[in-house]
Amino acid sequence: MSVLPSPSDGADHRAEARSQAAHGPGETEHANAIFQQPWWLDAVAPGRWGEVTCEEGGRVVARLPYVVRGRPRFRMLTQSSLTQTLGPWVEPSDAKPVRALAREHELLAELERQLPPARGFAQQFSPLMLNALAFHWAGYRLGVHYTYRLEGLGSEEALWEGMRDNVRREIRKARKRVEVVEGIGVDRFHAVLSMTYARQGIATPHSVTELERLEAACRSRDAGAMLFARDEAGRIHAVVWVVWDRSAAYYLLAGADSDLRTSGAGSLLVWEALMRARAVTDVFDFHGSMLAPVERFFRSFGARQAPYLRVTRTDPAASLALASRTALRRVAPRG
């Protein structure tokens, strides 16, 4: 067990960009996605994350990072709100399928056994890890969620033709009204992002400080782009933050000014994010949503549905305590 403290079409350009994305400080090859990288976890959960590992012959063959939440009596092993998926990574095997699957079961079971004591566990596994039987056998609940992924970003023409007609119209319209720029500042990004949450009556779950810390970590590794759609008057119509590594790019956060939503800027920013991501990777993950309007938007870019697992466990005592606290809130007098 190991626990840590807390746009160019040219194939040559794409290959060069990928070769420059080699593992640097704070990076590991034992990851399904950028969200499992130590530097990412340091940025989104400083001092609050750890991991368990399995080794064979002195090398890591399986790994499961986690974020610790809650007070000691109600400690949970989970993931950051700025993390799409976490879950286990298992070294690929060249063995026959029957043996490879048996080995994967064994490694996943060993990772689960090594997890530190906690009242609960809640993570979303990568779409690349659809095997969670070892967790099911250990008493965890498995739920299926969906994201949308574009695989094969090599051809700009194919990406354009794969979108719905109305999305192409929105992009053409937006190009006449706004320009796409970077480097305006995390505070401006947060302000527009907060408009989207306010429209839904939800408090913004990420502070400027949290976004600044993650943006600095990504910028130092050329691991993403924070995009703004700005008009001639200097108004920001929409924002998108896309992050990437060699395996995939991820549509991390997006927001829009509700008074300017008809400009098509949101669709244009997705297109521009795709163009930047394709220099590094061949996969674009839309950071899936189970909300029908959001699902339709993602699907309209030609992305395909991809399942991923939500894996949870809560011990009976914690479940009872949480239920009691919820009941007390319902009957408590309100001033």
275, containing H or E segment:
helix 265-277
| Fold assignment, 148-306 | Aminopeptidase (3.40.630)
Q: Which of 147, 161, 70 is CA-nearest to residue 116?
A: 70
Q: Rounded to an integer, what distance in angstroms lies between the CA atom of residue 79 and that of residue 93?
A: 27
Q: Where are the domains of the chain?
A: 11-145+308-331, 148-306
How many Å from the N-terminal Cα to the C-terminal Cα in the chain?
A: 50
Domains 11-145+308-331 and 148-306 share a fold: yes
pLDDT in tens, 60-69: 999 999 999 9
Pairing assessment for the beta strands 89-90 and 249-256 based on DSSP bridges: unpaired
- Whole-number Å distance between alpha carbons of 130 and 320: 30
Task: Determine phi and psi for 22, rounding to 5 degrees.
Answer: -70, 160
pLDDT in tens, 47-59: 999 999 999 999 9
- For residues 27 and 42, give the distance between their C-alpha atoms in angstroms, rounded to a whole number: 11
CATH architecture of 11-145+308-331: 3-Layer(aba) Sandwich (3.40)
For residues 191-207, one letter each, b for 16 or more C-beta atoms within 10 angstroms of the residue's C-beta and e for the rest, the string is: bbbbbbeeeeeeebebe
pLDDT tens per residue across span 260-313: 989 999 999 999 999 999 999 999 999 877 788 888 999 999 999 999 999 999
| d(C-alpha 85, C-alpha 285), whole Å | 11
Per-residue pLDDT of the chain (335 residues; tens, 9 = 90+): 333 333 333 444 334 444 344 455 678 999 999 999 999 999 999 999 999 999 999 999 999 999 999 988 889 999 998 999 999 999 999 999 999 999 999 999 999 999 999 999 999 999 999 999 999 999 999 999 999 999 999 999 999 999 999 999 999 999 999 999 999 999 999 999 999 999 888 899 999 999 999 999 999 999 999 999 999 999 999 999 999 999 999 999 999 998 998 999 999 999 999 999 999 999 999 987 778 888 899 999 999 999 999 999 998 765 555 555 444 434 444 33
Any idea which residue has 């061949």 for tokens? 282
